[in-house]
């Protein structure tokens, strides 16, 4: 599964590089809040659900899949570990994309 589906991202942003960089910046800013919420015993599911929707919107399919798996997992620690790994990979892919777009 692609970490970043560039065709989807291009479709959602009209392939406008300036808009894509702005969207990626907003996503990265929100990661801090989602990460803090995922550390909360009470708020992690909502954070993972929100992260899943944002990830799908910009084509971070592996991250969205990890979020979906965590939402349905009976082992929240394992599910959250998968989300954190996928999130780190997604952030790496976004950095690469931003470097290539510059």
The residues spanned by each domain of the chain are 6-101
> What is the predicted pLDDT for the residue at 80?
93
The structure tokens listed for 46 are: 């909502």
pLDDT tens-digit profile of 39-74?
Answer: 888 889 999 999 999 999 999 999 999 999 999 988
pLDDT of residue 76: 86
In this structure, whether the domain defined by 6-101 belongs to CATH 3.40.50.620 is answered with no
Tokens standing for 101? 């777009």
Write the DSSP assignment of 23-51 as a string of letters.
HHHHHHHHHHHHHHHHTSTTTHHHHHHHH
pLDDT digits (tens, 9 = 90+) for 9-39: 999 999 999 999 999 999 999 999 999 999 8
The pLDDT of residue 29 is 93
Average pLDDT over residues 78-82: 93
pTM above 0.95, yes or no: no
Q: Which two tokens stand for residue 100?
A: 């290539």
* Nearest by Cα to 61 from 93, 23, 22: 93
Query: What pLDDT does residue 46 have?
Result: 92
């Amino acid at each position: 599964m692609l970490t970043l589906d560039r065709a989807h991202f291009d479709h959602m942003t009209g392939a406008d590089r300036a808009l894509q960089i702005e969207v990626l910046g907003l996503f990265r800013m929100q990661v801090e809040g989602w990460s803090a919420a995922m550390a909360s015993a009470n708020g992690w599911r909502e954070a993972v659900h929100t992260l899943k929707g944002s990830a799908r919107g910009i084509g971070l399919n592996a991250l969205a899949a990890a979020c979906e798996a965590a939402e349905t997992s009976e082992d929240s620690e394992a599910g959250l570990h998968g989300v954190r790994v996928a999130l780190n990979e997604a952030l790496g892919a976004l950095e690469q994309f931003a470097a290539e777009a510059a």
